Structure 1
Amino acid sequence: MASVDLEKLRTTGAGKAIGVLTSGGDAQGMNAAVRAVTRMGIYVGAKVFLIYEGYEGLVEGGENIKQANWLSVSNIIQLGGTVIGSARCKAFTTREGRRAAAYNLVQRGITNLCVIGGDGSLTGANIFRSEWGSLLEELVSEGKISEGTAQTYSHLNIAGLVGSIDNDFCGTDMTIGTDSALHRIMEVIDAITTTAQSHQRTFVLEVMGRHCGYLALVSALASGADWLFIPEAPPEDGWENFMCERLGETRSRGSRLNIIIIAEGAIDRNGKPISSRYVKDLVVRRLGFDTRVTVLGHVQRGGTPSAFDRILSSKMGMEAVMALLEATPDTPACVVSLSGNQSVRLPLMECVQMTKEVQKAMDEKRFDEAIQLRGGSFENNWNIYKLLSHQKISKEKTNFSLAILNVGAPAAGMNAAVRSAVRSGISQGHTVYVVHDGFEGLAKNQVQEVSWHDVAGWLGRGGSMLGTKRTLPKGYMEKIVENIRLHNIHALLVIGGFEAYEGVLQLVEARGRYEELCIVMCVIPATISNNVPGTDFSLGSDTAVNAAMESCDRIKQSASGTKRRVFIVETMGGYCGYLATVTGIAVGADAAYVFEDPFNIQDLKANVEHMTEKMKTEIQRGLVLRNEKCHEHYTTEFLYNLYSSEGKGVFDCRTNVLGHLQQVWGVGTWIPEGCSLTPVPRGPGGCSRARTLLHAPPHGAPGCRGYFIHTPLTRVLIAHCTGRRPRLCLGETHAVGSQPDVRAVCTHKAPLPQGFLPTSGGTCLLDAGAHRSLPVDELATHYPASGGGLWAKCGMEKGAGLL
């Protein structure tokens, strides 16, 4: 959805009624979608009805269809499942059942229906829409409604949201619930890994997904599984020998465990199911390994939704309301999807038909085509998995060498990116070095050549195994150049935050004095602050948001007993308000104060007054987020004193400074000096970016040292960008030779303007786009800023804080 002026939408829904229901299997994030549809509908002036128990409630009517108000969906964003219930309804599959459903909608004036469910639920909604006119005619002939009523409500508009943990719906990159299901799987894998290492066991994990292997594929990629079975890519004949050979080889090189992940719909080339029990018996019989089977089952549907699912659902819910308001009698039923990083509306039945084509391709054993039909993201993940897990080490060595180092504060995903880069380089025959302690370590010659198995087990480790410092290279230039020459390094891969970006620019600026620096230099953004110019998403920021979100959930829960309490929570991020903004949306905060959105004492006063009014309602709690450097004078202590004084006698106030919890948090585990990663930074993000550098040919045009010359393509940042045409500039640039001064591009280590800031106010739009390489010194004229393409505002006024 493009940014819009929400003030102009306040009355666009007047006189209209919207019904929302959830159907089919539940998925985490459905409640966030219901909440967004309800509050956006109320905001635009429409009546919103919650339809309980899915299509069954629609058919039965009565108390199953209730008009909602603003408070009806309060405090549900963090809940799993669906609070309005879901049920499979045989009655709705009959003409009589759909006629009863039509009568119940007409009685309440509902002609707009938002359906949250899988392809079966959405197909049923489309059939209902196509029959709507004839159903009303039958109701008129039966005398249940008048002809005038039938004319008034002659058209039914449908907007679908795909709620399914399987991510098996074509047309959308992610479905509601998929990311949360991956969190549950990774929690189990992390827990199993410790016991497997203790007893040198092999674990066979069966995950859900029906006939789609997305959950199995991404969890295998994120956990570094030894073997994977998915229905879209059955193993070749004789796979039993290959698998056992690989498991034995892994053990012979010192590994104490093996992980095999199998999708519940896995088959072989002949269409015969491959069961977890069969795989377990095979390993025991062939290798004699102590092997266990774990079938995850419905645990994958449970638990709280992740930050990604909360924001994705909120975004899609808002877009669904807009689609219903803009629909005409000629508009086909649509489904709101995520494409690249934009919410888009696609024809519902075209997407359903494409989804059926995938199954048809698998039935006809056109497996390569089935993978392509799943989409570019699925295909890319599959290729990365094959590269990192099954590609053999090249026997032919090249004379190309690569050095990898971490710079800045630790961030989740750093170790995953290092592992991916190391193995990608070695697989191509390159020499790979790792540098300890960043640029300072490079100056002190803390350089070590690594092998394939040196990075085994790094994937799920938090922090930085190499060590990382904020030191910039400017004061160590001579020694850095000397060690680059000593080890004959032809490329530098720098993984880190803003300091990594600035450090590479300093090296680029010094190329005129040192020919050794005329090599490829690449930055992979990795910082919880998400403040690196040119990228929408940095490794570690997703994990940090989830850490802050879980902490805020617990803080909100503590207020359920005390009542009349306001919490002021301070997040990290320096001058970049990404963490505060996105966390505020994910937890339904009352306000988020960030440096990029200036505020004054009048704004604070208005917020306190709003909080006072809020305490008169059923919701007697408040949550205010503050970025750590949002204002020089309005500190966390100042806000506490202000809220405490002005709210005296109405509410009390408490403060929480999350601090390094955002760096050391993990999925299900607390690890000192680092964090367990969420699936996003463990998986495709780190892998895709790390291998991108290796596409640079080691032979290029003649230049310094016979490898690379001083061109834009030798200084790049691997960005997670919008995939759209550039929208805004970072700011004024100042040339230093042929390079811009990073200090002129960015203010307070945060690029301006920020992509996540509000353009008009309202709710969140989260973009998760495609990887793209950009010249580091040309970012100022290409892409706006970090922040996930997100525009958001946590408002205090009723209707302003939509989520």
Structure 2
Amino acid sequence: MNAAVRAVVRMGLYVGAKVYFIHEGYQGMVDGGENIREATWESVSSMLQVGGTVIGSARCKDFRSHEGRLKAAHNLVKRGITNLCVIGGDGSLTGANLFREEWSGLLSELVQQGLIEADAVQKYSALHIVGMVGSIDNDFCGTDMTIGTDSALHRIIEVVDAIMTTAQSHQRTFVLEVMGRHCGYLALVSALACGADWVLIPEMPPEDGWEEKMCQKLSANRAGMKRLNIIIVAEGAIDRNNKPITTDYIKNLVVKNLGFDTRVTILGHVQRGGTPSAFDRILASRMGVEAVLALLETTANTPACVVSLCGNQSVRVPLMECVQTTQEVQKAMDQKRFEEAVKLRGRSFENNLRTYKLLAHRKPESELPVSNFNVAVLNVGAPAAGMNAAVRSAVRVGISEGHKMFAVSDGFEGFYKGQIKEIKWGDVGGWTGQGGSLLGTKRTLPAKHVDKIAEQMRKYNINALLVIGGFEALECLLQLCDARSTFEEFCIPMCMLPATISNNVPGTELSIGADTALNAIVETCDRIKQSASGTKRRVFIIETMGGYCGYLATVGGLAAGADAAYIYEEPFDIRDLQANVEHLTEKMKTSIQRGLVLRNENSNVNYTTDFIYQLYTEEGRGVFDCRKNVLGHMQQGGAPSPFDRNFGTKISAKAMQWLSQKLVESYRKGRVFANTEDTCCLLGMHARALVFQPVVELKDHTDFVHRIPKEQWWLKLRPLMKILAKYKTSYDVSDSGQVEHVIHSRPKDSDASVAM
């Protein structure tokens, strides 16, 4: 929430508005006085890394009464406030809408009571409202992600990862209760992200007789070499008769039926606290800026709207439509129309549920189809967090579809050396939470060894190929595509999943691993900023990875509140460096006496990190001193973030289903033969959809010398970073959201929210 508050304040000041804080939620609006204070640029400094909300929040009885809203209206009119930006859940937003509808009536009452002048009614005739949804439950229909959800997932996953090690040692079963009284999003996504054995959510109560099924599954897993079981329960979990399912009930069940050593952990309010994740900071900053733009554009007769996220795009949706859909979910659940409740929650939720069912429940051998196809999976390029989750998902979906799955170690180098072995369902257990690449990965390209690779393909009769990796993976697929004319072995369906921390693959806006790297950068920047605040008047120059791609520096800069970010895509010269030094010199005169500058490793051959450090040191002499930090390979490591685990899991499942379909389509006369461009694709995320694009078509969109796409969506986030760092710059509003309707706001067959 703080990132949103900061963005609204700074964007508001940037467009020349007067911005006020209302402390303690609606209570502060009703009480007035000191609770409503003017905000300044400095007053929102240093709050990006703080959890919760700095301006306080309170549940307010008074605002529910007519008298309370009358007082609130009086307090706003006294200060001439007619634009409200409300950050909260559906309750807060419904309240805001009612307040807006009553506004002119409230003003007339205030005139009658002689509390305001008659001309004030004309002057302040309309109240404009824009909402942003802040809720860890992600229970609001009309947006893919609410502010706070990703951070809550971070807390849950940190706990689950820690519990898994102790459960592993003691061969225990753990029952974890996570928040979500009416919405199972957190439970479902964390179950997906840690590969839980069983999950219970309010939207999809288990079939009658589930107890026995669950116990069978737990004991089957133990029999298959697994030393632990994890069961995740949403606090609002119910059975088919709307009776609550408690953690204790499950514990006693497991102990009674199976005799397993079982423990219960209730996560509670841990999930609401802690530092916000990089994703949440960027989401909230984008939403905050969008909210200010929406307020500037509202007229007396536009309906109140909510700024929200669809795929990777900001959109605006009518507030009441969202609230109604959200309430319909609850109605559907009360009336036991569970399938419908899941549908109303939106595509993202449905996809999560489908993927979870696909991966968690292993069908007995007798029920599996037999396809007689062999599919190989390999990693290429540098390791990225989330690769293992993608491999696990591919292997399990492949097995469910009846294929034989083969794992190739050490990329194409391992391929031509014959490091290929069959991989089974149980071999990938516990892989989601592991960082790096368990299969091993190399940057070797296949071109020089095509003949040997073809020989191995013949030997193992490989009928389809899934390559998970970064820019190299794209080059590999292009080379294999070229080799089709000489070697028939490569005339098979091939698919690549983008996995690289640099996020520099054309044809996709996001890559597996980038979110984890961003979190590593942001966490380090937070610590460094803290150190700089202590010493005062200090500027840090931080070098990030990314090759020639400035994604990590730019988006990391936005999430960490940097003053500048130097990247290759936006050329800079000595005048820009000088302007930045002057800007920091001005900043040191305020109460914020620290600076943070990010530089992408290849942003400029001559303006190296050392050069910039020395320049700043010389120019800032007497005003500030400098330190430099090269973040290096810590950006590549670490446990994958919840986002990367899920993104990897879901796109990999989708890719395997696509490969299965292509295998069936290209099977003729007893063999697979596929040599068209559309059988060698990259699966990437585009604005709102997951799209399969032939790699040959991506050639024109790629700068192969610098290994980056020719056009990159995140460049439009740069002005945003500059505005929030107090630079005068022009902000392009051309892609700010138009109001759309909830019901029809999703393209029919796209899958962008799969990513979310």
TM bin (shorter chain): over 0.9
Structure 2 vs 1, CA of residues 133 and 796 (structure 1 numbering), >3 Å: closer, same or farther?
closer
1:125 aligns with: 96
State the Cα distance separating 1:724 from its structure 2 match. 7.2
The residue that corresponds to 1:374 in the other structure is: 345
User: Which of 301, 309, 325 is equivalent to 2:280?
Assistant: 309
Q: Following TM superposition, by how much is the alpha carbon of 1:394 offset from its aligned partner in structure 2, in angstroms?
A: 4.7
**Residues 213 and 231 in structure 1, CA contact (< 8 A), matched pair in contact too:** yes
Q: Pairwise mapping of residues 101-500 of structure 1 onto structure 2 (< 5 A)?
A: 101-395=72-366, 396-500=369-473
Is 1:572 the counterpart of 2:529? The answer is no
Equivalence for 1:752: 710
Residue 521 (structure 1) shift: 1.0
Moved more, 677-686 or 645-654: 677-686
| Secondary structure of the structure 1 residue equivalent to 2:719 | coil
Q: CA deviation at 1:793?
A: 7.6
What is the identity, as a one-letter code, of the residue corresponding to 2:519? Answer: N
Aligned length: 727
Whether the aligned pair in 2 keeps the contact of 1:203 and 1:294 (CA below 8 Å) is yes
1:744 and 1:250 mapped to 2: Cα distance?
A: 46
Aligned to 1:779: none
Q: Which amino acid aligns with 2:532?
A: A
Give distance in 2, aligned partners of 1:175 and 1:610: 34
- The one of 727, 739, 742 equivalent to 1:797 is 727
CA shift for structure 1 position 747: 3.7
Contact 1:115 1:159 in 2 (8 A): yes
Q: Structure 1 residues 73 and 244 mapped into 2: Cα distance closer, same or farther (>3 Å)?
A: same
Do the aligned partners of 1:515 and 1:704 also contact (CA within 8 Å) in 2?
no
Q: Residues 93-129 of structure 1: CA distance to partner in whole angstroms, max 9, x if unpaired? A: 1111111100100000000011110111111111111
Alpha-carbon spacing, 1:793–1:703, altered in 2? closer, same or farther (3 Å): farther
Aligned residue in 1 for 2:593 = 620
Question: What is the Cα deviation at residue 341 of structure 1?
Answer: 2.1
Instruction: Please name the residue that 1:716 is paired with.
Output: 681
> Do the aligned partners of 1:393 and 1:426 also contact (CA within 8 Å) in 2?
no
2:684 maps to a residue whose letter is: A
Structure 1: gaps spanning 5 or more residues: 1-29, 665-674, 765-791
Alignment of structure 1 residues 723-738 onto 2, 5 Å: 723=688
Aligned with residue 679 of structure 1, among 639, 642, 648: 642
- CA drift at 1:340: 2.3
Report the equivalent of 1:583: 556
Please, what is the CA RMSD of the aligned residues? 2.0
Q: What is the alpha-carbon distance in structure 2 between the residues aligned to residue 198 and residue 422 of structure 1? A: 26
8 Å contact 1:183–1:679 — kept in the other structure? yes
Number of the residue aligned with 2:671: 706
Q: CA deviation at 1:712?
A: 2.0
Q: Which residue of 1 aligns with 2:736?
A: none
Q: Distance in 2 between matches of 1:374 and 1:744?
A: 37
Q: CA deviation at 1:742?
A: 7.4
TM superposition shift of 1:685: 3.8
SS in 2 for 1:512: coil
Matched residue SS, 2:462: coil
Q: CA deviation at 1:520?
A: 0.9
- Counterpart residue number, 2:7: 36
Change (3 A) 1:136 1:302: same
Deviation at 1:797, TM superposition (A): 2.5
1:62 to 33, 37, 43: 33
Q: Where do residues 540-551 of structure 1 align in structure 2 (5 Å cutoff)? A: 540-551=513-524
Distance in 2 between the 1:438 and 1:794 partners? 42
1:72 Cα deviation after fit? 1.1
1:91 paired residue number: 62
CA contact (8 A) 1:544 1:662 kept: yes
- Return the alpha-carbon distance in structure 1 between the equivalents of residues 88 and 102 of structure 2: 20
Q: Aligned AA for 2:332?
A: A
- Corresponding position of 1:695: 658
CA distance in 1, matches of 2:417, 2:283: 46
- Alpha-carbon deviation of 1:794? 7.2
Match of 1:783 in 2: none
8 A contact 1:758–1:793 mirrored in 2: no
**Selected match of 2:603 from 613, 618, 630:** 630
Deviation at 1:470, TM superposition (A): 0.3
- Quote how far apart the aligned CAs of 1:150 are: 1.7
**2:681 is paired with a residue of what secondary structure?**
strand
Give the letter for the 2:649 counterpart. G
Match of 1:561 in 2: 534
Secondary structure in 1 aligned to 2:541?
strand
How far did 1:324 drift?
1.0
TM-score, normalized by length of structure 1? 0.88
Tell me, yes or no, if the aligned pair for 2:701 and 2:711 is still in contact at 8 Å.
no
Match of 1:24 in 2: none
Question: Is 1:204–1:280's contact at 8 Å kept on the other side of the alignment?
Answer: yes
Write the distance in 1 (CA, Å) between the matches of 2:141 and 2:689.
Answer: 21
Tell me if the contact between 1:393 and 1:428 (Cα under 8 Å) persists in the aligned partners: no
CA contact (8 A) 1:209 1:215 kept: yes
Provide the secondary structure at the position in 2 that maps to 1:434.
strand
Q: Deviations over 1:458-486 (max 9, x none)?
A: 11111011000000001111100100011
- Per-residue CA deviations over 1:361-399 (Å, capped at 9, x if unaligned) read 000000000000000000000000000001415534321
- The 1:105–1:210 alpha-carbon spacing in structure 2 relative to 1, beyond 3 Å, is same
What one-letter code is carried by the residue in structure 2 that aligns with 1:722? A
User: Offset at 1:744?
Assistant: 6.2
Question: 1:660 maps to which residue?
Answer: 633
Instruction: Please say if residues 164 and 176 of structure 1, whose CA atoms lie closer than 8 Å, have aligned partners that are also in contact.
Output: yes
| Percent identity over paired residues | 65
- Contact 2:397–2:656 (CA<8 Å) still a contact in 1? no
Letter in 1 for 2:256: R
Looking at structure 1, the residues matched to 383 and 111 of structure 2 have their Cα atoms a distance apart, in angstroms, of 68
Normalization by structure 2: what TM-score? 0.94
Q: Is the 8 A contact 1:384 1:688 kept in 2?
A: no
Q: CA contact under 8 A between 1:596 and 1:754: conserved in structure 2? A: no
Aligned partners of 2:402, 2:194: CA distance in 1, in Å?
25
CA offset at residue 762 of structure 1? 2.3
Distance in 2 (alpha carbons) for counterparts of 1:561 and 1:644: 19
Contact 1:612 1:650 in 2 (8 A): yes
C-alpha distance in structure 1 between counterparts of 2:39 and 2:263, whole Å: 49
- For residues 144 and 185 of structure 1, the distance between their equivalents in structure 2, rounded to whole angstroms, comes to 50
Letter in structure 2 aligned against 1:762: P
Q: Using the TM superposition, give the Cα deviation of residue 800 of structure 1 relative to its aligned residue in structure 2, in angstroms.
A: 7.6
Letter in 2 for 1:464: S
Distance 1:419 1:689 in 2: 9
Q: Secondary structure at the match of 1:756?
A: helix
Moved more, 295-304 or 338-347: 338-347
Long gaps (5+) in structure 2: 733-756
Distance 2:541 2:324 in 1: 49
Higher helix proportion: 2
> In structure 2, the residue corresponding to 1:763 is in which secondary structure?
helix
8 Å contact kept, 2:506–2:702: no
Corresponding position of 1:775: none
Structure 1 residues 340-368: Cα deviation after superposition (integer angstroms, max 9, x where no partner): 22211111111111101000000000000
